[in-house]
Copies of this chain bind each other. A is one copy, B any other.
Amino acid sequence: MREEMQIAILGATGYTGLEVVRLLHKHPEAEVTYVSSDSQAGAELADVYPHLRGVLAYTLEGADPAEIAKRADYALVALPSGVSTNLVPGLLEAGVRVIDLAGDHRLPDDVYAKWYKKQPPAPTVLERAVYGLPELYKSQITGASLIANPGCYPTATLLSLLPLVKNGLIDPHSLVIDAKSGVSGAGKALSAGTHFVEVNENFKAYKVGEHQHIPEIEQVLTDVNPSGEAVTISFTTHLVPMIRGILTTSYAKLTGSYSTEDLLAVYREFYRDAPFVRLHSAGNFPQTRDVTASNFCDIGLRVDPRTNRVTVIGCIDNLVKGAAGQAIQNLNLLAGLPETTGLLNVPVYL
């Protein structure tokens, strides 16, 4: 009989960590052997979150790399940006393969310092990191010891745009990306911006043109840009009065005369082996509810012959394909499992 992978979840009481807990509970090949929370070490997770009673029983511990290495082969690090930097080197040194859900290992150190305004990881750590977007970098992921799990906005944006940029079908300099997210993306921290009375019956933009996910998106688009030229985007984030879900609406000038069907054919080919990307037929578009609590990314697009622009709409659940689900997809790849293992669930549409 196959041996289960042994997994440490670090930062289990945050929204992302909690989603890792939920998803791994149904994973047939994973055994959770270490669950950390610095602030609640010693407590039972099911006492902190009563919805877990009767389903699972984890005692929270502090995050000790040596101890983690004794009990786990893989660590899913769901700590805030700036915190995982301190923990990851010790884990790697102890031989634990790491999937970091924070932003710390996704960018060159100077870019990270500029956009996150935090101390970047050491170069020796950073050079080991592979950007964990399986639909693009599957072969690099497989053998990696450190995965930089993509951000939520970059995941939806990149999956929406990769087939167009990589195939030279749009002018990347014309890219405008208008992104909308539910409130869980802001995490559990208290702020006026997450107070129910301030959020409900309200819609607003935030970090206009200044979101730290911008360089992450540009870096990957540049990487696939056939001209090699650096891609610079217009990118605006908005807050939707809902809990889960990201929808991005992307606009770009076509480089030639293509129909909606032409482009859809390119997408179908591009995502032929991508089980979590679902394409809509012409005239149909995704909505966030179609992917809630699942690892899918749904995409629809339309060519507007009036402007010769294409509009691409992509949806993910920010906590799943935008965080915990994608981390498990990467975990599966690291472990040599089919990438869908434990992840092919019916979305909670209602």
A184 at the interface (CB under 8 A from B): yes
A124 at the interface (CB under 8 A from B): no
In the bound complex, do residue A55 and residue B285 qualify as a contact, i.e. CB atoms below 8 Å apart?
no
27 A–B contacts, CB within 8 A, in A order: A15-B197, A21-B346, A22-B346, A26-B26, A50-B280, A50-B290, A51-B289, A52-B347, A54-B278, A54-B296, A55-B345, A55-B347, A178-B251, A188-B197, A196-B241, A200-B200, A201-B289, A203-B240, A204-B247, A204-B288, A232-B306, A234-B307, A234-B309, A236-B249, A236-B311, A240-B240, A293-B293
Instruction: Tell me the complex Cα distance, A292–B203, Å.
Output: 11
CB distance from A21 to the nearest CB of B (A): 7
- For residue A306, which residues in chain B have a CB less than 8 angstroms away from its CB? 209, 232
Q: Apart from A18-B349, A183-B200, A184-B197, list 6 A-B contacts with CB within 8 A.
A: A50-B278, A176-B251, A178-B178, A200-B241, A201-B244, A204-B247
Contact with B along A63-103 (1 / 0, CB 8 A): 00000000000000000000000000000000000000000
Copies, count: 4
A321 at the interface (CB under 8 A from B): no
Closest-by-CB residue of B relative to A277 is B54
- For residue A294, which residues in chain B have a CB less than 8 angstroms away from its CB? 51, 55
Contact with B along A178-212 (1 / 0, CB 8 A): 10101110001011101111111111111011000
A286 at the interface (CB under 8 A from B): yes
**Neighbour of A203 across the interface among B276, B288, B311, B319, CB < 8 A:** B288
